[in-house]
């Protein structure tokens, strides 16, 4: 189903064919849930937030103009909902000296992340991802897991495309730093 | 600075290997129920808003009419209202007026019937799909 088809279905929903909304629920509920559950950690909260996202999207459906895909549009709602939810609850914050990122060599980062068969590295990466703040996690998930384009991520996170690129660039270095200094950060 | 996503295979792999719980099997049905409830709520709100608007406008008009009658239009209705006179030559004209009035009422009633029928059909269609 392309953007045009989705837009036509949305127009029909706005005209009263509400049951057609289940198409989007069946198609995208897992994608939205998988994104939120990695941010809020609790299964129950994530499910409730996913429901909230679809309800909010339904209420705002008449503002969808089909410029982007429905998934990108709903990711934006999911992002705002998940981030608001994390702000309401107490989150464990890891102190991280951002100036350390500048000392990390780009070549080392490239070499480390090129390797996709190192199980230990994968495990370390998963542990390091838990130490990222919700915005960083979301950026990582949207780019690497959901495969969203830079421009779409920029629209989802209300940033400029250049800003997204810079954030991703620093994020890779931060992950590298967290992995290579795992002993120090594990204690915090 | 531009990073190539394919270069970071380890990050993609680590994210793909991550195990996370799945949605409840009846999630979509529950969400749709919520959507239907929202639609009903919106309809009720619209109805209340419409009734409030109509009431406010009607009250305003009534108050304005009373005010105008009381302060600006001080005349005796008994003098100003004419007593209708039914002259034999005008009776055919009255029959025509009555015919037009009945025709309008029938058309308005038919419009109401068809609208009801159409709305009912559309609602049943949307439930059935």
Q: Which chain A residue is nearest to residue B14, measuring alpha carbons?
A: A122
Shortest Cα distance, chain A CAs vs residue B68, angstroms:
44
Closest Cβ–Cβ partner in B9, B16, B32 for A113: B9
Question: What CA–CA distance (Å, rounded) separates A97 from A99?
Answer: 5
Question: pLDDT tens digits, residue range B98-125?
Answer: 999 999 999 999 999 999 999 888 777 6
| Residue A1 pLDDT greater than 70, yes or no | no
Give Cβ neighbours of residue A61 (< 8 Å, ≥ 6 apart): A10, A13, A14
Domain coverage including residue B106: 83-129
Domain coverage including residue A73: 3-88
* pLDDT the model gives residue A187: 45
Q: How many CB atoms lie within 10 A of CB A38?
A: 21
- Does residue B8 form part of some domain? no
Question: pLDDT tens digits, residue range A81-129?
Answer: 999 998 887 666 666 777 777 777 888 888 788 877 777 888 888 888 8
Give Cβ neighbours of residue A127 (< 8 Å, ≥ 6 apart): A182, A186
* pLDDT the model gives residue A65: 84
Nearest to A69 by CA among A17, A31, A33, A14: A31
Question: What CA–CA distance (Å, rounded) separates A74 from A81?
Answer: 10
- Does residue A93 form part of some domain? no
- Does residue A37 form part of some domain? yes
Closest Cβ–Cβ partner in B5, B17, B34 for A51: B34
Mean pLDDT of B10-26: 83
Question: What CA–CA distance (Å, rounded) separates A3 from A64?
Answer: 11
Q: Give the domain CATH number at A72.
A: 1.10.1740.10
Pair B109, B89 in one domain: yes
Q: Any idea what DSSP says for residue A98? A: G
Whole-prediction pTM: 0.71
Question: What CA–CA distance (Å, rounded) separates B97 from B41?
Answer: 45
Mean pLDDT of B33-38: 94
Both tokens assigned to A89: 């609850």
Question: pLDDT tens digits, residue range A149-164?
Answer: 899 999 999 999 999 9
Pair A75, A113 in one domain: no
Could A55 and B12 be called an inter-chain contact, meaning their C-beta atoms sit closer than 8 Å?
A: no
* pLDDT the model gives residue A184: 56
């Amino acid at each position: 189903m392309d953007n045009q088809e989705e837009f036509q279905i949305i127009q029909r929903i706005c005209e009263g064919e509400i049951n057609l909304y289940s198409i989007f629920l069946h198609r995208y509920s897992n994608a939205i849930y998988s994104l939120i559950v990695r941010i809020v950690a609790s299964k129950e909260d994530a499910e409730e937030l996913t429901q909230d996202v679809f309800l909010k999207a339904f209420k705002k459906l008449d503002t969808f103009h089909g410029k982007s895909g429905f998934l990108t549009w709903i990711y934006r709602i999911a992002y705002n909902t998940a981030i608001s939810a994390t702000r309401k609850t107490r989150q464990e914050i890891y102190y991280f000296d951002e100036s350390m990122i500048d000392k990390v060599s780009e070549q080392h980062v490239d070499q480390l992340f090129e390797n996709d068969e190192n199980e230990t590295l994968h495990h370390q990466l998963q542990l390091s991802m838990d130490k990222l703040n919700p915005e960083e996690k979301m950026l990582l998930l949207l780019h690497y897991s959901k495969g969203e384009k830079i421009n779409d991520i920029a629209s989802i996170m209300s940033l400029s495309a250049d800003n997204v690129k810079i954030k991703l660039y620093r994020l890779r270095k931060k992950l590298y730093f967290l992995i290579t200094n795992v002993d120090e950060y594990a204690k915090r | 600075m531009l990073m190539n996503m394919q270069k970071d295979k380890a990050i993609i792999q680590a994210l793909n290997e991550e195990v996370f719980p799945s949605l409840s099997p009846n999630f979509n049905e529950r969400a749709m129920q919520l959507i239907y409830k929202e639609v009903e709520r919106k309809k009720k709100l619209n109805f209340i808003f419409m009734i409030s608007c109509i009431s406010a406008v009607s009250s305003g008009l009534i108050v304005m009419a009373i005010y105008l009658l009381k302060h600006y239009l001080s005349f005796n209705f008994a003098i100003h209202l004419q007593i209708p006179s039914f002259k034999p030559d005008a009776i055919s004209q009255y029959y025509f007026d009555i015919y037009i009035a009945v025709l309008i009422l029938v058309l308005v009633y038919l419009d109401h019937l068809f609208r009801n029928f159409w709305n009912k059909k559309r609602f049943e269609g949307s439930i059935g799909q």
